């Protein structure tokens, strides 16, 4: 009698949602305190996604009798990351469009000052700023975030899966 394996999707979506909600709350705290462009504080979001991926893999492994293949781990990590990126991108767009519409402009102005301090010319800065402003739409914010976190999450999953995996014995 063959036993059916649980789906990786349910654990992945669950922890994608949980980590996204935590990430959104953290992101809102950074935005409200105007610390969203602080590299050190913004990096904490990667700890949140690492925990989401790890906990999703751990839950899947526990409901699958202690087994998880490397490929299943990569799948879980990828799904967690896409869900995380979609929701975080949507929340960022909603915040910067409807709640604090001046936030993006303030960040761009601080970035312009950093570019000037580094010795860039006005023409170079204007080209960069035009590109940044062109990527402000909801589609770019949401899909760009999903793609970014998918890539980052997949790379993280390569490492986390190697640690968490436990292959089912072939002749069981």
Tell if the pTM clears 0.75, that is, is over it: yes
Q: Report if residue 2 sits inside a domain.
A: no
Q: Report if residue 171 sits inside a domain.
A: no
Taking 70 as the pLDDT cut, the residues of the chain under it are 1-3, 135, 172
Q: Report if residue 73 sits inside a domain.
A: yes
Are 86 and 70 in contact by the 8 Å Cβ rule? The answer is no
First to last CA, the chain: 12
- Total domains present in the chain: 1
Q: Report if residue 23 sits inside a domain.
A: yes
Q: Is 166 helix (H, G, I), strand (E, B) or coil?
A: strand
Q: Report if residue 170 sits inside a domain.
A: no
Question: Residue 27, CB half-sphere, CA atoms under 13 Å: how many?
Answer: 23
In this predicted structure, what is the pLDDT of residue 1?
A: 44
CB atoms within 10 A of CB 86: 19
- Domain range enclosing 104: 9-164
The radius of gyration computed from the CA coordinates of the chain, to the nearest angstrom, equals 20
Q: Report if residue 169 sits inside a domain.
A: no
Phi, psi values for residue 171, rounded to 5° = -110, 60
Share of the chain above pLDDT 70, in %: 97
Cross-strand partners of 68: 166
Q: Report if residue 121 sits inside a domain.
A: yes
Q: Report if residue 172 sits inside a domain.
A: no
Angle (CA) 133 135 136, round 5°: 70
């Amino acid at each position: 009698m063959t036993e059916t394996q649980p789906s990786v999707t349910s654990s992945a979506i669950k922890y994608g949602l949980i980590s996204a909600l935590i990430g959104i709350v953290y992101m809102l705290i950074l935005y409200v305190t105007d610390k969203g462009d602080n590299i050190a504080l913004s990096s904490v979001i990667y700890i949140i996604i690492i925990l989401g991926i790890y906990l999703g893999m751990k839950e899947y492994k526990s409901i699958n009798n202690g087994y998880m293949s490397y490929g299943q781990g990569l799948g879980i990590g990828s799904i967690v990351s896409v869900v995380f990126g979609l929701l975080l991108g949507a929340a960022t767009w909603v915040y910067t469009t409807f709640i604090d519409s001046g936030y993006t402009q303030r960040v761009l102005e601080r970035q312009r000052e950093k570019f000037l301090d580094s010795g860039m010319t006005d023409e170079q800065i204007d080209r960069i700023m035009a590109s940044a402003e062109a990527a402000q739409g909801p589609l770019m914010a949401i899909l760009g975030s999903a793609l970014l976190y998918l890539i980052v999450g997949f790379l993280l999953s390569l490492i986390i899966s190697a640690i968490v995996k436990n292959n089912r014995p072939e002749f069981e």
